[in-house]
Amino acid sequence: MTAQTLLTTEEVAILLGVKPATVYAYVSRGLLSSRRNADGKNSLFAKTDVDAFLAGRKRTTTPGIQTGITLIKDDNLFFRGRDATVLARTSTYEAVATLLWTGDLDDVPFPVNPDLRRLVMDVTARLPATARLTDRLRVTVAAAAAADPLRFDTTPAAVVATGRQLLAAMVQGLPPLNGIPVQPVPFAEALWLRLTREKPSESGLRLLNAALILLADHDIAASTLAARIAASTRAHPYAVVSAGLAALDGPLHGAASGLAYPLVEEAVNGPGPVATISDRLRSGVAVPGFGHPIYRSGDPRAETLFGLLGEGPVKEAALALDATMRTRSGTPANVDLALAALALHHGMPADAGEAIFAVARTAGWLAHALEEYGDRPSRFRPSGSYAGNQPA
């Protein structure tokens, strides 16, 4: 008879993506069964029970969204029927953005508008030194919108043109750390020069370009739903991107890589990956950079980025963290850990992963906006379930 796999409260919290206190709440409500361990002080959970609970959880969704952009199936990611991990190794972000917007894999450069570039550099230069990279992106999008008198044009050709110009402006609004090239450069290189003082290398640019592609879209994620709702009201493309950026700002979405960054850093410079994981588990919080509600056997985006990451202590530490978590709780690393490793390996700040995520996902938000612009307007109107005081 095979021994039953038992999980600690902290391991269950990681699998479910909640705090340990929430796990205890599930137990008190009879949703999860637990047993005491040998010392009678801590709870243990049968992994089969946890898996069944996870499979039965109802995710809150907004019905009626049919999309031809992204498919996630059998732990694989596809953009308009093409394997995203293959695109990440063989294409450019510019081409994949066009694929998401039009269905054609055309490598069309993102033009830099000199007037818009001066504007966004001016407004972002006035921000305090404490401003995060994504703070600068939000200000850039707002400034670009104010400068575009034709921003309410939501025809497909106009949205595509706006998208290319806006993405170029978002990068131009970030302060350069490595000089500004005289000649136009690929999009990944333009972003690289604003994230690290390290000289661009072929392998580094290939890795950053792959990250941009893999993060370009992910079906109806929280930020994408926000973007689609904005588009359904016929908000202009800049407002759609602003809505996406707002939802992306949470620590459980686009900002998650910033939480994983110190984990990788500590694994490299501290006592090692096992001790680092142990410290996080002892603190009672979920280990950042691990687990995903959609991918059960592993996040293909993380696996692809780890494969492209250069050899060195950062890669060794990240893979050791992944191996430790897989062995202990069957929880593989997600793209947030891979982004953190990318940033740390190339001397980027802790919030670089969040900025890469935000810039990359802009293409996806606009692709979903194009679908919404072609659908019935204002079709999202959920009703709340009132639980307050009743009228007298």
Query: Catalytic residue positions?
Result: 292, 336
The torsion angles phi and psi of 385, rounded to 5 degrees, stand at -100, 100
Strands ordered across the beta sheet of 35-36: 6-8, 43-46, 35-36
Q: E strands, the chain, where?
A: 6-8, 35-36, 43-46, 70-73, 76-79, 82-83
Count Cα atoms within 13 angstroms, Cβ side, for 9. 20
Of 331, 322, 335, 326, the closest CA to residue 15 belongs to: 331
**Which residue in this structure is represented by tokens 């308009």?**
80
Of 301, 310, 294, the closest CA to residue 338 belongs to: 301
Identify whether the C-beta of residue 184 lies closer than 8 Å to the C-beta of residue 43.
no
How far is residue 14's CA from residue 283's CA, in Å, rounded to a whole number? 13
Q: For residue 263, how far is the Cα from the chain centroid?
A: 17
